[in-house]
């Protein structure tokens, strides 16, 4: 998993509440067995017209949002089914952080396991980000996980909270496998003492 320490990137906004995982990654794309390659299907039903061509009105297709690393959305982002593929698609697309007033619990937990930082800010702070995005093109934010702050060059500054263990894992790029590998010497010593060479 790629470490997350400080990120400065283009912001895309999604002025929608209750964005669910069925829209984040539609069910027809869940047949893949690997974690990579899902980014091309992110928000597929919204990003594409019925004939498969890009929908020019969709947020992530707008020229100003190209290369977005940060997505700002409304409350209850990631609701619906518990598919981890939703976070795989977001990360594979290039988005490293989602900012919203609230998240669905399972989606929120899956973000940390896959190197995406979900940031909860107050409704008024999220609204301020929408306004700054509307007034500045392109709009950039800096997220610092060391100090747990979100800032821009136009006077916005907000603090956020992350549980210390999750923060540690993101800062060091440790998923479940990475955490296990931190103890590989102890595991090897135990196996050798228990089962021999």
Total domains, the chain: 1
Residue 54 in any domain: the answer is yes
Give the pLDDT band (50/70/90) at residue 176. Answer: low
Residue 35 in any domain: the answer is yes
Give the pLDDT band (50/70/90) at residue 35. Answer: confident
Mean pLDDT of 147-171: 97
Mean pLDDT of 37-56: 95
Give the pLDDT band (50/70/90) at residue 179. Answer: low
Residue 176 in any domain: the answer is no
Residue 182 in any domain: the answer is no
- Mean pLDDT in the chain? 92
Judge whether residue 144 has pLDDT over 80.
yes
pLDDT at 178: 64
Mean pLDDT of 34-41: 92
**CA 42 to chain centroid:** 12
Give the pLDDT band (50/70/90) at residue 190. Answer: low
Distance between terminal CA atoms of the chain? Answer: 31
Judge whether residue 65 has pLDDT over 80.
yes
Count of CA atoms in the C-beta half-sphere (13 A) of 53: 3
Residue 133 in any domain: the answer is yes
Judge whether residue 181 has pLDDT over 60.
no
CA–CA gap between residue 150 and residue 169 (Å, rounded): 19
Task: Identify the residue with better confidence: 187 or 62.
Answer: 62
pLDDT at 21: 97
Instruction: Give the residue numbers spanning the domain of 13.
Output: 7-140
Q: Which CATH number do you get for residue 16?
A: 3.20.19.10
Task: Identify the residue with better confidence: 193 or 17.
Answer: 17
CA–CA gap between residue 8 and residue 94 (Å, rounded): 13
Instruction: Please write the tens of the pLDDT for every residue from 77-134.
Output: 999 988 999 999 999 999 999 999 999 999 999 999 999 999 999 999 999 999 999 9
Mean pLDDT of 173-189: 68
pLDDT at 147: 98
């Amino acid at each position: 998993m790629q470490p997350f320490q400080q990120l400065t990137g283009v912001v895309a906004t999604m002025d929608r509440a209750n964005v669910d995982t069925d829209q984040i990654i539609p069910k027809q794309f869940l047949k893949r067995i690997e974690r990579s390659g899902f980014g091309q299907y992110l928000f597929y039903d919204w990003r594409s017209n019925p004939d498969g061509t890009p929908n020019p009105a969709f947020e992530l297709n707008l020229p100003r949002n190209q290369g977005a690393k940060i997505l700002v959305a409304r409350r209850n982002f990631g609701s619906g089914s518990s598919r981890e593929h939703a976070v795989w698609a977001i990360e594979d697309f290039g988005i490293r952080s989602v900012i919203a007033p609230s998240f669905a619990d399972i989606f929120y937990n899956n973000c940390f396991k896959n190197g995406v930082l979900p940031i909860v800010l107050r409704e008024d702070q999220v609204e301020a980000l929408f306004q700054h995005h509307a007034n500045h093109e392109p709009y950039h934010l800096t997220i610092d996980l060391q100090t747990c702050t979100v800032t821009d060059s136009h006077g916005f500054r907000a603090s956020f909270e992350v549980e210390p263990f999750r923060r540690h894992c993101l800062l060091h790029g440790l998923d479940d496998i990475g955490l296990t590998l931190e103890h590989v010497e102890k595991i090897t010593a135990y196996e050798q003492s228990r089962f021999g060479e």
